[in-house]
Structure 1
């Protein structure tokens, strides 16, 4: 979590904005004189076309700016813990414990990955710098790329036409609806459209980690320290990982739920902005949508194309 999204202080691309004075930023500018951002299709990533903004090193897969290091690390850690369960814990459980634990842990892992990749790859609520021209609340990845800020004129226009309930991000050059923060784990902004998936990622991740940890106490035996030194070492490493993950994900989920129940975001707290106060249910609907309550625990999209700003 490394950006507060302050629309009054953040500069989108310092190379384009560092020489702008306040009076220049506030000078009216005609949208017709501002060219759209140029981009091109570049190749394929897992059978999905990737795109690149010209004259930059930014590569995109849909809405996601490609950054594979952290997602790869997360996948490795999750699968490492699962492998440790299969090869160390599972063989030492009773038959009924094997069935229950395998179903439960596998389900939690699937729900975690579903939530994680949904939060990472989905649109957090991006709007282009020229949003005022169309005033829509849903744009295609191609439209968002064309509306990504790469020049001082685009930045000036965006500063003069900030949509309601939106923040302007310096790292993406876009507006985000109900922006909360940038999450390093999912390498994406957390906004109105993917905040539910982010919270569910923490929830199912914590359940997954604590389940792996707790089922160890149901083993009929433990690896022999002399004969199975490698298994003992792996069990200690994976147990430590599970404990740490449980704490981090649970704490993150609790903090997010507290903010959500108060209809706050990281940005509104940072900028000390007063927000409307709703009931807990109505506050939850700000990110979970108006669907049935059962949909709140399913990491599917909570909103259609139209969102009230």
Structure 2
């Protein structure tokens, strides 16, 4: 399980490219000139969604400041009457609204950028290469040294990964694109070029949370610029087209991100990962009508976002030292 960016064709192409890159091409320092060129284009294809994400963030914020905030806070007296102020008090109210929107959008942008960076650069967590998780015999029966797990094979044995040659903790899955087993794997996200798992799920969630917040502000306010662009005779047709197109695209993207954020908030509250929801709950696997790992809503949020509620919505680590992503409380144990 390694795909869930919302674009299955892109996921499949990147999966195959990454597999070919790792299996069929030598390391960079051993590659020929042609092979290095192929590696370069494969790497570019893998990082392309990240560049698109960064471009959307920069473009969206810039267009919002240029076409909405600046006209509100500008001191020029030739602003169109369609901006709805005809007195000093109305102008003051408009300026205040502009500065408030500027502050809120900049606040979201600041934390969004940090969240994206940390989601990209933080490892989701790997199975430790210790005696507890090493495979000594695939057919060995459960013994005292075998970790107790909620998820087991059909024969009752602990799950194993033939690629990593290690036993699998609960909620751990092998990612083909990353080439490793990821702890509490949620999905592989091509938009951050990384797996989303135990140690970076919080940063991924905050990425969509601050993205959704920024989009909500954009949708709720930028329509004023659309009205001005459509009815102000001094606005050129090309400029009107750009403003209307921007609002239309950002609204469609915003609705998607807001829905995605609501979905992940619901999954946190019910202690599901995307894999568990899509592969087990949706297909009515016994025991997953309600997550076997769900203790209570507050405890579920603590597991995902950290023990300190005051730090839940800031991209800082707030887990206890004992939290390693290898064992989870469940109804079974």
- Once the two structures are superposed, what CA deviation does each residue of 1:175-229 show, in whole Å capped at 9, x if it has no partner? 1110011122222111111111111111111111121222235569713356422
- Aligned partner of 1:101 in structure 2 is 101
What residue in structure 2 maps to residue 231 of structure 1? 239
Residue 179 of structure 1 corresponds to 185
After superposition, the C-alpha distances for 1:39-97 in whole angstroms (9 at most, x for unaligned) are 7899xxxxxxxxxxxxx9599x9xxx994311211121122122222221123322212
Q: How does 1:142-161 map to 2 (within 5 A)?
A: 156=162, 158-159=164-165, 161=167
1:99–1:133 Cα change, 3 Å: same
Residues 67 and 187 in structure 1, CA contact (< 8 A), matched pair in contact too? yes
* Change in 2 beyond 3 A, CA 1:90/1:15: closer
Q: 1:13 to 1:132 in 2, by over 3 A?
A: farther
1:151-184 residue CA offsets vs partner (Å, 9 max, x unmatched):
xxxx737345223432122222211110011122
Distance 1:109 1:235 in 2: 21
Tell me what 1:168 maps to. Answer: 174
Measured in 2, the distance between the counterparts of 1:255 and 1:220 equals 30
Higher RCO, 1 vs 2 (CA within 8 Å, ≥6 residues apart): 1
Pick one of 271, 294, 300 that aligns with 1:283: 300
Instruction: Trace 1:42-53 onto structure 2 (pairs within 5 A).
Output: none
After alignment, is 295-304 or 274-283 more displaced? 295-304
**TM-score of the superposition, structure 2-length normalised?**
0.63
Q: Structure 1 regions of 5+ residues with no counterpart?
A: 5-11, 18-37, 43-55, 136-154
Between Structure 1 and Structure 2, whose CA radius of gyration is higher? 2
- Per mean C-alpha deviation after superposition, the further-off stretch among 166-175 and 272-281 is 272-281
1:295 to 311, 320, 323: 311
RMSD: 4.0
CA distance in structure 2 between the partners assigned to 1:284 and 1:78 by the alignment: 27
1:3 and 1:68, CA in 2 relative to 1: closer, same or farther beyond 3 A? closer
Q: Aligned equivalents of 1:195 and 1:285: distance in 2?
A: 12
Q: Indicate the residue corresponding to 1:132 in structure 2.
A: 130
* 1:127-160 Cα distance to aligned partner (Å, 9 max, x none): 36xx23486xxxxxxxxxxxxxxxxxxx737345
| Offset at residue 236 of structure 1 (A) | 1.1
Q: Is 1:188 aligned with 2:194?
A: yes
d(CA) in 2 for partners of 1:15 and 1:112?
31
CA contact (8 A) 2:120 2:193 kept: yes
1:240 aligns with 2:257: no
Aligned match of 2:217 in 211, 219, 230?
Answer: 211
CA shift in 2, pair 1:178/1:231, >3 Å: same
User: Which has more strand, going by share of residues?
Assistant: 1
Change (3 A) 1:308 1:58: farther
TM-score by length of 1: 0.67
Query: For residue 70 of structure 1, what is the aligned residue in structure 2?
Result: 49
Q: Per the alignment, in what secondary structure is the counterpart of residue 192 of structure 1?
A: coil
Partner of 1:144: none
Query: Could you tell me which residue of structure 2 aligns to residue 91 of structure 1?
Result: 70
CA contact (8 A) 1:115 1:198 kept: yes
Q: After superposition, what is the alpha-carbon deviation per residue over 1:249-269, rounded to whole angstroms, capped at 9, x for unaligned?
A: 111112212222221112223
Rounded to whole Å, the distance in 1 between the matches of 2:67 and 2:175 is 46
Instruction: Determine if contact 1:127/1:176 at 8 Å carries over to the other structure.
Output: yes
Q: 2 CA distance for matches of 1:72 and 1:176?
A: 24
SS of the residue 1:106 aligns to: helix
- The 8 Å contact of residues 223 and 247 in structure 2, kept in 1 or not, is answered as no
Partners of 2:314 and 2:273 in 1: how far apart? 22
Partner-residue secondary structure (3-state), 2:178: coil
Aligned residues: 248
